Amino acid sequence: MRLTVLAEGSTKWQRFVKHWGLSILIGKDIIFDTFGKPNYALEQMKRLKVDLQSIKHIVISHDDWDHVGGLQKILEARPGAAAYICPHFKTDIKEMIRGCGANAFETRGLTGISDSCYLSGELKGKRRDSDIAEQYMAIRIDDGIAVVTGCAHPGIVEIVQHANSMFKSNVRVLIGGFHLKDHSEEDARGIVLKLKALGIRRVAPFHCTGRNAQNLFKKEFGDECVIPEEGQAIDI
């Protein structure tokens, strides 16, 4: 399975100029999150020669602006696609999806969207002083599971443990935003070591992971840690 990073924003400057969030093409027909800038993910698809009409599934991990910003533009360009959202997403997101003529599927539990790709269903995370609904994607690979996360508000360790339990198999690959940008170096190092102890072998941390935590992953995982750039493909 090949994953292609369509759009990503990871630095403080990118956040300041609203070039923030992530969007990943999974295989040839799944988009995971749609970045923050409304037109950017769609422009990147054209730039990278992605066949828009092949897109069947659009997964939104959670409804923060930097993950849903491009959703409407993509749905307008590909109205036949199905959108997968959490039940507790904002009402205006749900109404916008339906207004674009797309099917909105609320993932209340484990949901299969292809032979090898699954959604976790809604998990509860924390965003400052409030709860936030979030889901992750799990992909069956030869030696276990690969997990793709948007921001990992429920906790990246907790997500891995959830996937291990749900699939009765070990998560081997982690890709996406791990939300460690505001953690102390000591706390981030502890999380990196916990993930390695849980059996993680390859990581691709970006977006809200934070530069310091990325460096810790690189130090611990060496060549098995990839800090992806826009347009980069990751084979799992």
pLDDT in tens, the chain (236 residues): 999 999 999 988 898 888 999 999 999 999 999 999 999 999 999 999 999 999 999 999 999 999 999 999 999 999 889 999 999 999 999 999 999 999 899 999 999 999 999 999 999 998 777 899 999 999 999 999 999 999 999 999 999 999 999 999 999 999 999 999 999 999 999 999 999 999 999 999 999 999 999 999 999 999 999 999 999 999 99
Q: Residue 99: which domain range?
A: 2-235
Identify the pLDDT of residue 36: 96
Beta strand 2-9 with 111-112 is: unpaired
Distance CA 141, CA 226 (A): 18
Predicted TM-score (pTM) above 0.85: yes
- Does residue 119 sit in helix, strand or coil? strand
Identify the pLDDT of residue 79: 86
CATH number where 72 lies: 3.60.15.10
* Number of domains, the chain: 1
Of the candidates 180, 188, 138, which has an alpha carbon nearest to the alpha carbon of residue 161? 138
Distance CA 110, CA 229 (A): 30
Identify the pLDDT of residue 141: 97
Q: Which residue has the tokens 């998990």?
A: 123
Residues forming beta bridges with residue 25, ordered by sequence position:
4, 31
